[in-house]
Amino acid sequence: MIALGFPLALLLLPLPLVVWRFLPARREQVSALRFPFFRQIVRAAEVTPGEGAVILRRTRLQMTVAITVWVLLVLALARPERLGAPIEMTRSARDVVLAIDISGSMDIVDFAAPDGTRLQRLDAVKDVVSRFVAEREGDRIALIVFGTQAFLQAPLTEDLATIAALVEQTEVGMAGPHTAIGDAIGLAIRTFEISEVEQRLLILLSDGADTGSRMSPLNAAEIARARGVEIHTIAVGDPQASGDTRVDTRTLADIASRTGGSAFFASDVEALAGVYQRIDALSPRLVEQVSYRPRRVLSSWLLGLVAVLGIGALGLLTAARSGRRAA
């Protein structure tokens, strides 16, 4: 199928006719030689003198080529395009940021595995998060790790293999021994600034209480709500512990409720995996259908034809002029 990308250009087609009809012919003054005995020369030559103005006449070939070239130029300006078959794509309308606590308390070995063994908290989290990421085909995911400070490990990307690799390489204490939940939320908000989708989801996992954020976690949650960010929180620590190792479930629940999210607590691998599944069910992925037709612009072919016609006509006229001179 052929379509025009700029059909309004076709309005230029009658332009030469309008110019010829309403604009005066080009006038050019040239030097002349005055003969005082001009009438005698005319009578001797037996010719009838005409007016001084000379109007050049184009040959039929010139007119045909000129009209054809003009039509082709206008068509090229109209940008003819060959449309391919429609191609439909489905892409996610959801962006997800994973914020994982890697403070010193994540080194505690108290997470129960399905076989009854005890795992380090971070090792258990990495295993579950890697499986969660692998099932997010089509989503854009970003990774934030936080301890004393929050760091963006990967911006929003569809490269899930890289996200999984970065999760696997994460170690306890890389971001400091303390827990900065408010800073992690603030960094997630800045990460979402490049997002143009409606569904923005932050999954925040922590096993401690906020101990050193420059921004209060609750204030950060209010800002997140204003920016359209929904936060789900996961507590994996010990609520009965004391000091920095005690998970602040109340604050995590308040953060989630202020943004329309949910708060969860997990004490073993199965419970943690179930939490991620429930989050996925609570915030199902939005998708949008994108359809487009590949286009191939054909203007270059028309311009090439114009060049061939112009060169061919010029060659024929030059040959005809040379033949008349030789005769």
How crowded is residue 288: how many other Cβ atoms within 10 Å of its Cβ?
11
121: three-class secondary structure by DSSP: helix
Give me the count of residues in the chain. Answer: 327
Average pLDDT over residues 159-175: 91
What pLDDT sits at residue 254? 94
93: three-class secondary structure by DSSP: coil
What pLDDT sits at residue 219? 93
Q: Tens of pLDDT along 247-302?
A: 788 999 999 999 999 999 887 888 888 888 888 776 666 556 666 678 888 888 98
Q: Tens of pLDDT along 275-288?
A: 888 887 766 665 56
pLDDT at 69 over 80: yes
The amino acid occupying position 37 is F
In this prediction, residue 214 has a pLDDT band, given cuts at 50, 70 and 90, of: confident
Query: Residue 321 corresponds to which tokens in the numbers above?
Result: 């002029």
Task: Answer positive or negative: Cα dihedral of 260, 275, 162, 146.
Answer: positive
Average pLDDT value for the chain: 84
Q: Regarding beta strands 199-206 and 94-101, do their DSSP bridges make them parallel or antiparallel, or are they unpaired? A: parallel
Annotate 42-64 with b (16+ C-beta within 10 A) or e (fewer): eeeeeeeeeeeeeeeeeeeeeee
Residue 46 DSSP code? T
CA angle at 82 for the pair 78 and 86, rounded to the nearest 5°: 125
**Distance (Å, rounded) from C-alpha 181 to C-alpha 319?**
86
**Distance (Å, rounded) from C-alpha 222 to C-alpha 259?**
7
What pLDDT sits at residue 83? 82
Average pLDDT over residues 43-53: 70
Ranges of each domain in the chain:
2-85+294-326, 89-289
Does the domain spanning 89-289 belong to CATH 3.40.1210.10? no
Q: Where are the alpha helices (DSSP H) in the chain?
A: 15-22, 38-45, 60-77, 121-134, 160-169, 181-191, 217-226, 249-258, 269-282, 299-326
What pLDDT sits at residue 4? 86
The amino acid occupying position 320 is A
Q: Tens of pLDDT along 120-144?
A: 889 989 988 998 888 887 788 999 9
What pLDDT sits at residue 289? 61
Q: Residue 186's closest CA among 99, 93, 95, 102? A: 99
In this prediction, residue 245 has a pLDDT band, given cuts at 50, 70 and 90, of: low
**Distance (Å, rounded) from C-alpha 93 to C-alpha 75?**
40
Of residues 43 and 132, more confidence is placed in 132
Q: Which region among 15-19, 180-184, 237-241 has the lowest average model confidence (pLDDT)? A: 237-241
> Which of 49-53, 165-169, 263-267 shows the highest mean pLDDT?
165-169
Q: What percent of the chain has pLDDT over 70?
A: 88
Query: Residue 89 corresponds to which tokens in the numbers above?
Result: 């794509």
Q: Tens of pLDDT along 82-125?
A: 887 777 665 666 789 999 999 888 888 878 788 878 888 899 89
**Distance (Å, rounded) from C-alpha 207 to C-alpha 241?**
11
